[in-house]
Chains A and B, each alone.
Chain A
Amino acid sequence: MDIIQQIINGLSIGSVYALIAVGYSLVYSVLLFSNFAHGGFLVIGGYICYFALRSGGMNIWVASFAALIGAGVSAVLVERFAYRPIRERTPVTLYMLIASMGMSIVIENIFVVTIGGRFRALPPVIPMEPVNVFGLATTSAFDLLSLATAVVFLIGLQLFLVKTKWGLAIRAASYNLKTAGLMGVNVNRLIAIVFFVAGLLAAVGGIFLSARYTLYPQLGSMITTKAFVAAVLGGLGSLPGAVIGSLILGLAEMLTAGFISSQFRDLVVFGILIITLIMRPTGLFGKSVGEKV
């Protein structure tokens, strides 16, 4: 059953895209700019995990924890030093967008210069052996694990946003940051928390991507494009949209390559993107908010 095989492949890759796209969308929903440096946080997480495992001799749980915290903290630092000064001086988000492009190149090149461009692989800490799914398809244990982890983290994020005080503040800020500030929310701290969460989720994606594929400085920029497409497809700023968009992207990639031709893959994926934007300019789950005067 080829089709089931390809659907499982598509869901597993889509779920990893989702972890990254959600962080991307989260930042967009609050600050209304696309943080192109998001892929950099993923690479930072990947390298922290790599060195914790290889040189630090830690086990995968400690290494992952260090990677998550490390990537979260670097996201906060990037916001503090690269975006906040701009944010405080101009309301035009275009400048932050440009700064984020610069930041992504800076992060990538820091790794190229200090660690080198060589491809690295995490030690085999995550099981990879083939698993037979009800006799219908073969997938690796890794795919099921990454799917499960992505679901756990996405549910965790949802609980954080719905059940906690800061979650409420973030949701308020996504409607209107300025009003949330006027209501007594500490905007800078709120944004720091948003970046921390986004960086942390990116690191989860980063660990899975570098274990499944390979770790290299350019990994971030490749995946950022995909996460961006997924987020736009689902509606920028919408978290369920980012998840659905990522799954659609993962499935579209796998099914096109599997049943039409691998050369047509990008054509189909970006075709879907363009058609979605023509039919629903705000994406599948985007809310169209009129410009307030």
Chain B
Amino acid sequence: MKKGFTLLTILFAVLIIGIVIAFGFYKFSNRTTSDSAVLSSAPIKIGYLAALTGDYAAYGITEVNMAKLVVEDTNAAGGVLGRKLELVVYDTKTRNEDAVNAVRRMIESDKVCAIIGANSSGINIATAPIVNMGKTPQISTVGTNPLVTVDSNGKVRPYSFRVCFTDPYQGALAADLAKTDLQKDKAAILYNVGSDYAQGLREFFTKSYKKLGGEIVADEGYRETDVDFRAQLTKVKRSGANVLFLPGMGKDMALIIKQAQELGLDIAIVGGDGYGEFMNEIAGSAMKGTYWINHTYLSDPGMAPIFARYKKVYNDDCKEFVNGTMAYDATQWLIDAIIRADSTEGEAIAKALETTEGLELAHATLTISPEDHNPINKAGIILKVDDNLKTQFYKKVEPK
């Protein structure tokens, strides 16, 4: 036994040393290419920050896969500025501290020209000071909180951008849907107390809903890792609310809806863009008739060929189609900016991103406001889950 164990230890040690040496070679060979970056043949590095593990992994993996498709296509068509693109992917593990470290590494050691991601407002807010100090533009895919692109004094962060609409708009859309379309005047909110996104969206919904004459009768929090919401839902039931607003993420919202059905809670449900189609699998029949504010829809004609190709390459239905769309268009937008800037310098790319006007993307036409780096006049899409648990386009709301 003892002998076997020693042998095992030696084998293990050899394996570890082997990996270290191989990695060293890999690093070394990488270094030699980046040292010769003066030569125009070196690839242009684009950082991609996404949650590949942890609670938001399903969204992040889709984003990275989609971005890879764009990079492959662009390289096959000859690259950008005569150079190939290279995607440098880092996992945020759905944790701010890991995201901050990843962004540091991207800027300092990988020397990426720009960063796309991440798929969460909280992470974008946490990484914003670093990218702005490192003068590396960052495009958020679905970070809807206002603080992603402006600081708390309302000053624009020069290197932070987003391709999605913002939460004040999303909150107003949700409030209008609940009060005007559905005619529900007593709302309950269930939100994640630890999430910047959820806190912000809840605040904007509350503000707009009260302005429309509605009343918030229950306002309950939960924690990131929670899976049981029956205590909060029992309170919602007692409050007499007739609409439940959910500014959360897929897993929490699906479980809330499922448990609401179990408790016999008969209530209209309106939620934000944390929606993912996998929720229909988790919550099943409870999802019928729920409404979701979102950026895009699965049957968007602009995205149809792209989803078809995604399915062919990855053999996956792209259930997180919103993230897929936003990642696709964010990458296209960045490529367009690099071409217009005719440079891979952060400053020039940021300038080009800021002056984007009327850019035709797959899901929308993009014009950026220089004051806050938010897209101007982006339409909101309202989705509704039908009786066959398919997510259908309900209506499109153009900003007034």
Contact = CB atoms under 8 A, between A and B. Distances in A.
A263 B53 contact: no
A5, A118, A124, A256 pick with most chain B CB within 10 angstroms: A118
Contacts of A217: 53
Nearest to B190: A262
Q: Which 9 A-B pairs have the closest CB atoms?
A: A117-B57, A257-B231, A140-B262, A213-B227, A130-B264, A258-B231, A121-B282, A118-B58, A138-B264
A263 B284 contact: no
Interface residues of B, number: 38
Contact of B282 (A6, A13, A214): A214
B351 to A, nearest CB: 37
A218 interface: yes
Contacts of A216: 55, 251
Contact of A121 (B55, B58, B281): B281
B31 to A, nearest CB: 28
A201 to B, nearest CB: 20
Contact of A116 (B57, B230, B251, B258): B57
A119 B255 CA distance: 11
Contact of B263 (A13, A118, A120, A130): A130
B238 interface: yes
B221 A262 contact: yes
A2 B234 contact: yes
B220, B235, B251, B261 pick with most chain A CB within 10 angstroms: B235
Nearest to B285: A124
Contact of A88 (B1, B57, B263, B278): B1
Nearest to A213: B227
Nearest to B227: A213
Interface string B226-240: 011011101100100
Given A130-B264, A213-B255, A218-B55, A262 B232 contact: yes
B228 A13 contact: yes
Given A140-B262, A266-B223, A118 B278 contact: yes
Interface in A201-258: 209, 213-214, 216-218, 222, 253-258
A124 B284 contact: yes
B188 interface: no
A13, A89, A121, A139 pick with most chain B CB within 10 angstroms: A121
Interface string A102-145: 00000001001000111111001000111000000011101100
Contacts of A29: none
Contacts of A156: none
B53 A6 contact: no
B231 A254 contact: yes
14 contacts: A117-B52, A118-B278, A121-B283, A124-B284, A129-B262, A130-B262, A140-B263, A213-B227, A216-B55, A253-B231, A255-B231, A257-B231, A262-B231, A266-B223
A57 interface: no
Contacts of A117: 52-54, 57-58, 61
B310 interface: no
B193 interface: yes
Mostly, the B contact residues are: helix
B169 interface: no
A100 interface: no
Nearest to A88: B1
B228 A121 contact: no
Interface of B: 1, 5, 52-55, 57-58, 61, 193, 220-223, 225, 227-228, 230-232, 234-235, 238, 250-251, 254-255, 258, 261-264, 278, 281-284, 319
B278 A213 contact: no
Contacts of A128: 258, 261-262
A78 B52 CA distance: 26
A184 to B, nearest CB: 21
A35 interface: no
A53 to B, nearest CB: 13
A263 B221 contact: yes
Contacts of B234: 2, 5-6, 9, 258
A68 B220 CA distance: 37
Given A2-B238, A117-B61, A262 B255 contact: no
B181 to A, nearest CB: 28
Given A130-B262, A130-B264, A214-B251, A263 B193 contact: yes
A218 B54 contact: yes
A119 B5 CA distance: 38
A213 B225 CA distance: 12
Contacts of B251: 119, 214, 216
Nearest to A108: B53
B52, B57, B251, B255 pick with most chain A CB within 10 angstroms: B57
Given A2-B234, A117-B54, A121-B283, 5 more contacts: A2-B238, A117-B52, A130-B261, A139-B263, A140-B262
Contacts of B261: 128, 130
A248 to B, nearest CB: 15
Nearest to A223: B227
A121 B284 contact: yes
A119 B223 contact: no
A92 B99 CA distance: 37
B230 A254 contact: yes
Interface in A1-30: 2, 5-6, 9, 13
Contacts of B232: 257-258, 262
A85 B8 CA distance: 11
Contact of A214 (B57, B223, B225, B254): B254
Contacts of A120: 281-282
B225 to A, nearest CB: 5
Contacts of B228: 9, 13, 213, 253
A116 B53 CA distance: 8
A139 to B, nearest CB: 8
B340 to A, nearest CB: 36
Contacts of B264: 130, 138
Contacts of A262: 220-222, 231-232
Contacts of B278: 118-119
Contacts of B54: 117, 218
